[in-house]
Structure 1
Amino acid sequence: MISELKILTGKRESVTYLKECYCTRPFKVANVREERQDPVLRLMMMSSSPGMLDNDHYRLHITVTAGTSLHLQTQAYQRLFNMQTGARQEMEVQLQPGSTFTFLPHPMVPHERATYSGYTNLHLAENCRLTWGEIITCGRKLNGEVFLFTKLHSITQVFAGKQLLLRDNLLMEPGTTRFQAMGWMEGYTHQATFLFFDTHENAPMVETADRFQRYLAEQPRMLAGVTRTSGNGILVRILGHSGEQLMECQQQLAKLLTV
């Protein structure tokens, strides 16, 4: 089933509002902003489905217009159920000049024999700030489903105009990949990717990367690395043992951006 979600922001004085929204089943969008004068639009992406089923195809398109700020969150873990063919998600995000976008969704949980492909394109203009994350679990760990899914392929690309700044290509195939080998999971079961881009001139990326490094070095039972990218970007890769652990870590990294 093809399901679509489209979001367009607008600005009224200094406050961002939801100018246009279109969604088909199973998507719903809720405004969870607590203070009416909060300049940031805070939306929750909800779903009436328990998770992605075989042959599901999600198409998400988000436009954050000039000078607006959007914080998009999810309702719950994204479950990927048993599949024969597979499920697919395509996400396109357009950040116009002077905009800010934050998206740190709940972890994905691939069940036994799940197959998933995800394609995310993030387009930046000048004077933008992007905070984006992805967490992938080994499966239903407490049920004994550790790396029993069939295939999980996630491609994330970041552009400034037509210039490609980053391409993260993650392919996990338990039938052929030795996850405990060096250079892979090395005993960990969950992984997170955290991206931060700031296209403002003279953005303090060195200081931000150092702040990330200091915080991550203090976290127990995790392994993390911080990498500077082209186009004023930072990529953080984190390995851990639970989705909640990595979610909390990503939230804390986001808070460090406001220090």
Structure 2
Amino acid sequence: MPLADLDRAGAADAETRRRAQAIARRLSVPRPPQDRRPRRGVGELRSLPWSGGSDELDLERTLDALAGKPFPEDRDVVVRERVRQRRSVVLVVDVSGSMRGERVRTAAAAVGALAGELARDRVGVVAFWSDAAVLVRPGEQVGPLAVLDLLLRVPTQGLTNVTFALETAGRLLAGVPARDARVLLLSDCVHNAGPDPRPTAGRLPRLDVLLDVSGERDVDLGRDLARLGRGRLRLVRGHPDVAAALGAVFTD
């Protein structure tokens, strides 16, 4: 759904909608690199210069490329290949008691903006406190404003069980190739319920951490989670910092 749809009146409160719009205007998430290795039945079918992979000839385009060339080259042969350009991303949002008020609105706005920016990808959303709730499963078609509404309907409550949230995200990514899967944790990382989340982070295909430092926080844990999850850590103090931080974690 286009980011412009955030302008519609909806159930999300006006301040969170304003923050989402501000983030969306500045947000630019790079597309994933093309994976042109042959994978039967997977990815978008496109016509590309032959590079030693597909043997499915695009005859019409090959004839056009060869026209008038007495000494054709390999790259003049055009084939049909499936190009994989979709990620599976699970956004894990802390709605525990320590993330109430302004902090949870900033997190919700970030998720709403990302849901629009990642419209071509398979995006899931998990809200967590001492428990966790799957709000959107990867591949479900849910617009940015609807994601905001879902998040803001979850009451900020209880302790913070990062481990259970990451385990829930991992289950949603089961069966997805590691190169296409990643988890983004939005939290203050004040983990105070459940076992140590570090081993769980190490089992995820990739974990990036957007850590709210506007109040109580645990930067050391956030740093460890990102390192063990082979991802990046970015610190934010409010919604003006979010777009640049999100852009940075998606640069590779």
Question: Which structure has the greater CA radius of gyration?
Answer: 2
In the superposition, the TM-score normalised over structure 1's length comes to 0.28
Q: Which has the higher contact order (CA 8 A, sep 6+)?
A: 2
Q: Which has the higher strand share?
A: 1
In the superposition, the TM-score normalised over structure 2's length comes to 0.29
